[in-house]
Structure 1
């Protein structure tokens, strides 16, 4: 049963990718479509980050814990124009440190 779901999801992803590649160039050349195509990945990634940082482990409700402090550290490092590896390691260090302290 699970393999049918995996197979169906794979086919669905392939068809979605094919649909994106099938869009004519004249449609993508429109200013509104080009702007939406530029901003959509940022919005989706922001939503995924927010869900992963604020979701309660049980899946019900929102929680502010060490993950939120790690996100804050990452934002501060990005504003300071730190290299990406420093941002990731800094956020992980802050999160791990707070969790070690019981936060």
Structure 2
């Protein structure tokens, strides 16, 4: 399959999904299970993104300064630090480890 065929197929699939979202009957979307799943889906996707970006480098798994930064962020969140402080602490941790050469 060529690049353009792949792009056009993906575009058609995305349009079809968006259109299906408009034509699905509302009573299908208002059940308690559907509400629970749609409420938790963004959290699961964000957690997966953080895990992939933190613990992989190319095609390999590894631990480096990013993992230490996420660890510091988790501790700061458990201590109920403000979100901006969590981000700054995580970035400072990762930056400091990279600066001293302890992690790539």
Please report the TM-score for the alignment, with normalisation by the length of structure 1.
0.78
* Gapped regions of structure 1 (runs ≥ 5): none
Q: Does 1:97 align with 2:96?
A: yes
Q: Does 1:86 align with 2:88?
A: no
For residue 73 of structure 1, give the secondary structure of its aligned residue in structure 2. helix
Residues 35 and 65 of structure 1, relative CA distance in 2, 3 Å threshold = same
- Where has structure 1 moved over 3 Å in runs of 4 or more? 7-24
Question: May I ask how many residue pairs the two structures share in their alignment?
Answer: 100
Of 39-48 and 17-26, deviating more is 17-26
Larger radius of gyration: 2
2:25 maps to what in 1? 24
1:63 maps to what in 2? 62
* Gapped regions of structure 2 (runs ≥ 5): none
For residue 34 of structure 1, give the secondary structure of its aligned residue in structure 2. helix
Please report the TM-score for the alignment, with normalisation by the length of structure 2.
0.78
Cα RMSD of the aligned pairs, angstroms, is 2.3
Tell me how far 1:19 sits from its aligned partner.
3.8
Tell me how far 1:18 sits from its aligned partner.
4.6
Tell me how far 1:77 sits from its aligned partner.
1.0
Alignment of 1:25-40 (within 5 A): 25-40=26-41
